[in-house]
Amino acid sequence: MEYYDLLGVANSSMLASQCVPLREDEIRIMSERNVRMPHMPLSNCEVGAGIAPVPELLDAGVMIELGSDGYVNDFFEVVRATFLIHKAYKQDPRVMPAAQVWYLATKGGAKSLGLEQDGRLAPGWQADLQLIDARFPTPLAEHNLYDQLVLWRNHSHVKLVMVAGQVRCSRGRGAGSR
């Protein structure tokens, strides 16, 4: 990160993929220069790269979104891995709460990509949404909604996907499928 900073490319246009490992001074550079980072925990695990210091990056104000470099085709697994891996690494169940992880996978990702009018159903907004089956094996309450989504859902529970107000997938089938 220091080298990128010396080159003058460590800035808000930079999307610094994965960032494993990082030192404190590199986290500071990322924060001061508004560098964005896609967190890819399963990709990092698969290649033995380590665990990105996401809690520290978030504490420093670095904009993080979740991502996959392609070998994981169920994004819910990336979400679940983000939720679990940092708890295990830090040996602290309070690290990376489900609501925070869900934000990184949704609104935080949109914000990081510069999508300003996304994340709300309102006139003039993007109108991207997923309808997810909410029949969970444990009782659902307002305080545990995100935990339930993160721990119990996968792609098979997505019943409808809309992008820009247009249905793209319904009941597991793409638009135009029969």
Q: Is the pTM of this model over 0.85?
A: yes
For residues 45 and 6, the model is more confident at 6
What would the pLDDT profile of 94-136 be if each residue is shown by its tens digit? 999 999 999 999 988 888 888 888 777 788 888 788 999 999 9
pLDDT band at 175 (very low <50, low <70, confident <90, very high): low
CB-based burial label for 150 (10 Å; 0-12, 13-18, 19+): buried
What would the pLDDT profile of 126-163 be if each residue is shown by its tens digit? 878 899 999 999 999 999 999 999 999 999 999 999 98
CB-based burial label for 145 (10 Å; 0-12, 13-18, 19+): middle
DSSP 8-state class, residue 148: H
Query: Is residue 176 over pLDDT 70?
Result: no
CATH 3.90.1150.10 fits 2-174, yes or no: no
Domain boundaries, the chain: 2-174
